[in-house]
Amino acid sequence: MGTDTSVCPTGHGRVVRVLTIDSAIIDAIVAHARRDHPDEACGVVAGPIGRDLPARHIRMENAARSMTFYEFDSMEHLRVWREMDDNDEEPVVIYHSHTATEAYPSRTDVSFAGEPGAHYLLVSTREPDSEEIRSFRIVDGVVTEEEVNIVDATVDA
Amino acid sequence: MAIEVRIPTILRSYTGGAKVVEGSGDTLGGLLDDLDARHNGLKGRLVTAEGGLHRFVNVYVNDEDIRFLGGLDAKLSDGDSITILPAVAGGALGFVAAAAIAGQRAAARTGR
């Protein structure tokens, strides 16, 4: 298993090139993506600051309600980010679905990626009976794919 | 008295890593000029070459989205708290088309 540990050149601390995430959270994300298909679904998984542990799944409204674009509602964004601040949490995972294409960041995804510390998780729902789930770091326009390690019972989901 | 400004991770390279900085100004535009004097380059990440607020940066005064308060002309008072968050957006669509859709949405929201 490729748990490549290296120092991120942009100074965001140690980056472990793997996303470890509970299967219950993955199931909830996939269910959200399926529910909103063919529109894109989006959301966050918050976790305690500095632990790289996605613990609390938050479905976000796709304010664009589009099959090819997503955008957090600005007021919900503020509310959820404040809530994380109050709880000493950070956005560990930011996810969205692609509903007709592969689970790989588009040029749009890369241009807008504004959370260098987050894992960007993409789910493709283009196949009706299986999902493609992939995770990336997007820092300064550079996309780095990482392994997704799905485990059981790291959190109470 | 001063105005507190919460800086998102991606812009902390302009503030020496600080999460919260203070500034002053009667309007958001004035505040950004004041901040830019000490945190050179910050304003350029928030304001376009044409002089408008970047579409994909959210700025809030206390609990309000600044777009509903007049954007860069929004009046500020000492004790206000400003939060800056990069919009979370993306999707499968090509960049130019996405920007066009987003631009229409921004126009609809601000009534311009």
Which of A77, A110, A138 best tests the B interface by mutation, with the highest count of B CBs <10 A?
A: A77
Contact (CB<8Å) A71/B87 = yes
Cis? peptide before A38, omega within 30° of 0 = yes
B41-68 confidence digits (pLDDT tens): 999 999 999 999 998 899 999 999 999 9
Chain A residues within an 8 Å CB radius of B60: 74, 78
Question: Which residue of chain A has the CA closest to B58?
Answer: A74
ipTM of this predicted structure = 0.84
Chain B residues within an 8 Å CB radius of A114: 8, 10, 56, 85-88
Contact (CB<8Å) A68/B91 = yes
Total tally of structural domains belonging to chain B: 1
Residue B93's domain spans which residues? 3-110
Residue pair A133/A146 in contact by the 8 Å Cβ criterion = no
Walk across the sheet containing B57-61 and list its strands: B20-23, B3-6, B81-86, B57-61, B64-65
Walk me through the domains of chain A, giving residue ranges and CATH numbers. Answer: 5-151 (3.40.140.10)
- Looking up residue B102, the CATH number of its domain turns out to be 3.10.20.30
Residue with tokens 């390690």, as numbered in its chain:
A149
A59-118 confidence digits (pLDDT tens): 999 999 999 999 999 999 999 999 999 999 999 999 999 999 999 999 989 988 999 999
Predicted local distance difference test score (pLDDT) of residue A4: 44
State the Cα–Cα distance between residues A99 and A39, nearest whole angstrom.
7
